[in-house]
Structure 1
Amino acid sequence: MTRLLVWRHGNTDYNAGGRVQGQTDAPLNARGRDQAAAAAALLAAYQPDALVSSDLSRAYDTASALASLTGLSVSVDTRLRERHFGEWQGMLLSDIKTGHPAEYARWRAGDPSPGCGIESLDDLSKRVLEALQDAAALAPGGTVVVTTHGGAARQGCGALLGWPNEATRTLGSLSNCHWTELRDRTPRVGGTGWQLMAHNRGVLGQS
């Protein structure tokens, strides 16, 4: 039985300020570094066999907190980057709502391609799914921690579970430095073999 722990990075000033990060390389802030250290102590207890991370620094530095406890190296996979948010990257959500009301409404409603150069959910799902499958293959029967981003985590986990976009949207967003646990069991007819075991797990009171 292979276990994937899909871990969201720690807090950044973009998170704190209500800005869209997308693939902007915003670093962890002091709070984010503290979150990573606290969550890493819990994740180390799972005795991971491999660590894989997005190349964006907020994810890689989060993964590095766990690497320092386990002695494992962090493999980088650019497919684990956050969704590309096109024209919106770096913008305040409040400004987007005012300046792009139609596209903002479509995005909030779950439109897979809302416009403004935003990466489609289908493209996001495909690349993160492939990254998660390759990560799992690093330690068959073991535990792999994958450090990524909020939107990428949700869409990738949904794709791994075989869920349509409508079902994936019902999965709440991960809080900073929280994770989703997935386990690969014997495939059944019509299923992918992966099961959701836990979601939004992390340090109590930390978000």
Structure 2
Amino acid sequence: MTLTTFALVRHGQTDWNAQRRLQGSTDIPLNEIGRGQARDAVAALAGYEWDTVVSSPLSRAAETADVIAAGLGLSVARRLPGLIERGYGKAEGLQAGPELDAVRIPGGFEGAESEESTAARGLGALEDLAEEFRGRRVLVVAHGTLIRLALDRATGRTLPSVENAALNLVHHHPVDGWELEFFNGERLLAGVEV
């Protein structure tokens, strides 16, 4: 069985996360809590040998990946545009309330990327990596909505929000597809041999 194992890690916290603002594709940096979350994530990831580390090019994911990779004695191989967070259009930077409600439309927000498009883009990037690194272990640092929507599509589940810097471990088999072992640091499967 040729399993490709992925750790899908959401970036650490930013000030906009703390303020509950929609970030989307706006490039907001990590805050100090987020840097600490990135350092803490190393412990959960150190139990595996990783063949490569890739991330979204947005600074919050890139810095999280750099911190994690350094903690594991690795370096980030590349930044993949396909891993950028869902664009929320006019809603980016807004918090829940009248301003956000004013840009809401059926299925999302004015100018926003659709969930379907985000899921297809994110899963496409992961499938490309699964093909390139077949049978190996790939550590990916990206964004919460992108990871959740890609995993929803890959596994046929409807998952809750992805926590900052938590371990999400998924396996890809070229024939059998995707199997989620850990989500938000919690084991979902009894054990997958990797």
Query: What TM-score, normalized to structure 1?
Result: 0.81
Q: Is the 8 A contact 1:187 1:194 kept in 2?
A: no
Runs of 5+ consecutive residues of structure 2 not aligned to the other structure: 187-194
Letter paired with 2:151: C
- Secondary structure of the residue aligned to 1:45 is coil
TM-superposed deviation, 1:45: 2.1
> Given the alignment, which residue of 79, 83, 96 partners 2:86?
83
RMSD: 1.8
Letter paired with 1:19: R
> Given the alignment, which residue of 32, 35, 38 partners 1:36?
38
Q: Is the 8 A contact 1:50 1:138 kept in 2?
A: no
| Greater share of residues in helix | 1
Partner of 2:142: 148
Structure 1 residues 17-36: aligned runs within 5 Å:
17-36=19-38
Query: What TM-score, normalized to structure 2?
Result: 0.86
Q: Does 1:99 align with 2:87?
A: no
- Give the number of aligned pairs: 183
- Secondary structure of the residue aligned to 2:168 is strand
> Given the alignment, which residue of 125, 129, 135 partners 1:131?
125
Identity %: 37
> Given the alignment, which residue of 7, 14, 17 partners 2:16?
14
TM-superposed deviation, 1:67: 1.3
Name the CA distance, whole Å, in 1 between partners of 2:98 and 2:141. 29
Q: Which runs of 4+ in 1 moved over 4 A?
A: none
Name the CA distance, whole Å, in 2 between partners of 1:142 and 1:15. 32
Runs of 5+ consecutive residues of structure 1 not aligned to the other structure: 203-207
Partner of 1:45: 47
Q: Is the 8 A contact 1:41 1:66 kept in 2?
A: no
TM-superposed deviation, 1:55: 0.3
Q: Is the 8 A contact 1:6 1:179 kept in 2?
A: yes
Cα deviation digits, residues 53-96 of structure 1 (max 9, x gap):
00001001101112112333211101101100000111122244
Q: Does 1:176 align with 2:164?
A: yes
TM-superposed deviation, 1:198: 1.5
TM-superposed deviation, 1:197: 1.1
